[in-house]
Amino acid sequence: MNDELVARLADALGVPLSPERRAAAAESLAAQVAAGGGAAPEELDGVEPAVRFEPEPRT
Amino acid sequence: MSEPWTLGLAEAACLVRAGELAPSELVASVLERLETVEPLVHAFVSVDPEAALAEARAKDARAGGPLHGIPIAIKDIFDVAGVPTRSGCAARADAEPARQDAAAVAALRVAGAVLIGKTHTHELACGVYTPPTRNPWDTARSAGGSSGGSGAAVAACAAMGAIGSDTGGSIRIPAAHCGIVGLKPTYDRVSRGGALALSWSLDHVGPLTRRVEDAALMLEALAGLDEPLLAPGEDVAGLRVGVLRGAPFAPVEADVEDALERAIASLGDAGVTLEEVAVPALERGLAAEFSIVAAEAASYHEARFAETAGQITDDGIRGLLETGLLLPASVYLRAQRTRRLIQDALAAAFAAHRLDALLAPTVPAAPQLHDQLEYRLGGRQEPVIEALVRTTAPFNLTGLPAIAVPTGLGAGGFPGSVQIAARPFDERTALALARAVERRATPLGVPRGLELATANPT
């Protein structure tokens, strides 16, 4: 994830990102992507997202 | 009778109901206390003493709901009719007064509460410091966040109770740092209507109080419950509690380990069966939490982001919103799927060990200094926000009710705290266990940082 790529992505998505903020955004985005939301895709095979909250414990 | 501001919320409510304490007397006393301590703790964004006193006087002559005449503070992310909601954000400095109360605020009014003021929040309810609020135990330290103003106000006895919001610990972290009780109820137990959102699927609304019974009373009002959550003689003997010690609840400071041991001993004395429980999936919680918050917060603020980005003071929050707007959908969805793994793992732990509740440290360390960015824990440096959120976020991701309760003073001079989480909608069990811990803990007394103000109440 480099500054130029992040700048182009921000432009394409209409996200206001000034030049002096590109490096920090690139670093943060790289960290988020690396963290991958907490699990690798293969670990999540067959797992549905918790987009609908179910308060009852599932066993 | 001692000064009314020293009373607990439930105790004061009882005296008001019995006609032994007038709402105006109670509110006047708390406002006087507020005036004394506010220059030290900076908990409030705004206070309207005249309006609060007028409302209290109007309640003197009549009976009311369970919080009749009780002075309550409101975190400044909740709409209060006629008052601007600034959410700790410069971009909202000129906000118009809200036209109507947030649902939680309306519920408090229906119960008879007197709203005395709005409390500071970390900017956009996203952070663990809450400037300019100071910790009543040591004003050089943070009250925690993001409901830090509510935590400091209640700990300093400048309000009998307050409401806050908790997306990744924002009720429980200030409660732990300030030595009070903080209850994050089950997800959506209390309406989020009329409150600034940080992350729709993680935000919870709940009370901060000085005593467990006070939190129960406030939650009953906030959630519109007909039955009391705490019975006077409720027995916890025979309940089964799982103790969480591994990551993400480790590493912690020695005082935090001591606090956990005290709580274990207290619950054991009360006849509770305790068992060590390992739930490795919880280690994934922090990454899932941060991705979900980034994506949902960015989406919530997107329409105004181009105009307001430059006015966001906290660079970390601006960066979080920028990252959230650029984050691939696949990462957000992976986080929501990880969240499902965590929900299932905790549910399985409850079932496999036949648990009624879980016990864990609330936070891993003592309150941070205002400019402190890292803790040293387990021999390594850890960002303060990651350290504080890693222990609280699991119960946001799972939506389980979790209550932070003080365990007494630690060797370092700061209050200890543990959190007790129960099954969905079983706040009753969490409260009963928290009260068992509270009853066996040495009372904290007046926060050290306020001793001078207490000694010289001018």
- Largest CA-CA distance found in chain B, in angstroms, rounded: 61
Q: What are the residue ranges in chain B where pLDDT is below 70?
A: 1, 452-458
Query: Nearest Cα to B74, choosing from B53, B102, B42?
Result: B102
Of the candidates A28, A29, A38, which has its C-beta nearest B335's C-beta?
A38
Confirm or reject contact between A34 and chain B (CB < 8 A). no
pLDDT, tens digit (0-9, with 9 covering 90-100), for B272-329: 999 999 999 999 999 999 999 999 999 999 999 999 998 999 999 999 999 999 999 9
Question: In angstroms, what separates the C-alpha of A29 from chain B's closest C-alpha?
Answer: 6
Q: What is the number of domains present in chain B?
A: 1
In this prediction, residue B421 carries a pLDDT of: 98
Cβ atoms within 10 A of the Cβ of B233, count? 4
Which element (helix H / strand E) includes B241? strand B240-243
List of E strands, B120-229: 161-166, 181-184, 204-209
Q: Does A12 touch chain B (CB under 8 A)?
A: no
Q: In chain B, whose CA is at the least distance from the CA of A21? A: B319
Tell me whether A30 touches chain B (CB under 8 Å): no
One-letter identity of residue B400: L
Closest Cα in chain B, distance from residue A13 (Å): 8
Residue ranges of alpha helices (H) inside B229-383 are: 254-269, 285-308, 315-326, 329-352
Query: Distance (Å, rounded) from C-alpha B172 to C-alpha B406?
Result: 11
Mean pLDDT of chain B: 96
State percent of chain B over pLDDT 90: 94
Active-site residue list of B: 75, 146, 170
In the block, which residue shows the tokens 């939506």? B399
- Which one-letter amino acid corresponds to residue B46? S
Q: Has residue B450 been placed in a domain?
A: yes
B12-56: per-residue pLDDT in tens? 999 999 999 999 999 999 999 999 999 999 999 999 999 999 999
Taking a contact as any Cβ pair under 8 Å apart, which residues of chain A between 38 and 57 contact chain B? 38-39, 41, 43-44, 47-51, 53-57
Interface test with A, best of B279, B318, B338 (most A CBs within 10 A): B338
With respect to residue B181, please indicate whether it lies within any of the assigned structural domains: yes
Domain with B68 in it: 4-228+239-455
Length of chain B in terms of residues written: 458
Domain for residue B233, yes or no? Answer: no
Nearest alpha carbon to residue B106 among B190, B17, B14: B190
Q: How many CB atoms are located within 10 Å of the residue B227 CB?
A: 7
Question: Which of the four pLDDT bands, split at 50, 70 and 90, describes residue A59?
Answer: very low
User: The domain spanning residue B220 has which CATH number?
Assistant: 3.90.1300.10
Which of A17, A33, A48 lies nearest to residue B328, judging by beta carbons? A33
Assigned domain for B403 exists: yes
Q: Are strands B380-383 and B374-377 parallel, antiparallel or unpaired?
A: antiparallel
Closest-approach residue (CA) in chain A for B287: A38
pLDDT in tens, B101-134: 999 999 999 999 999 999 999 999 999 999 999 9
Interface contact B186-A49, CB threshold 8 A: no
Q: What is the dihedral of CA B242, B243, B245, B249, to 10 degrees?
A: 80
Question: How many CB atoms are located within 10 Å of the residue B205 CB?
Answer: 29
| A56 contact residues in B (CB cutoff 8 A) | 424
Tokens of B38: 């506010």
> Is B117 within 8 Å of B73 (Cβ atoms)?
yes
pTM more than 0.90 = yes
A32 touches chain B (CB under 8 A): yes
Q: What is the CA radius of gyration of chain B?
A: 20
List the single residue in A with minimal CA-CA distance to B425: A55
* Residue B191 included in any domain: yes
Q: How many residues does chain A have?
A: 59
Residues contacting residue A26 through CB under 8 Å, at least 6 positions apart: A1, A2, A3, A5, A6
The rounded distance, in Å, linking the Cα atoms of B24 and B71 is 10
Distance from CA of A31 to the nearest CA of B (A): 10
Q: Which two tokens stand for residue B186?
A: 């089950």
Select the residue of B286, B287, B340 nearest A50 (Cβ to Cβ).
B340
Q: Could you report the per-residue pLDDT of A2-54, keeping only the tens digit for each?
A: 899 999 999 999 999 999 999 999 999 999 999 999 999 999 999 999 865 55
Q: What is the pLDDT of residue B2?
A: 81
For residue B234, tell me if it sits in a domain: no
For tokens 């619950």, what's the residue? B267
- B375 within domain boundaries: yes
Between β-strands B204-209 and B161-166, what pairing exists: parallel, antiparallel or unpaired? antiparallel
**Would you state the pLDDT for residue B451?**
74
Q: Which residue of A has its CA nearest to B187?
A: A55
CB contact under 8 A, B319 and A21: yes
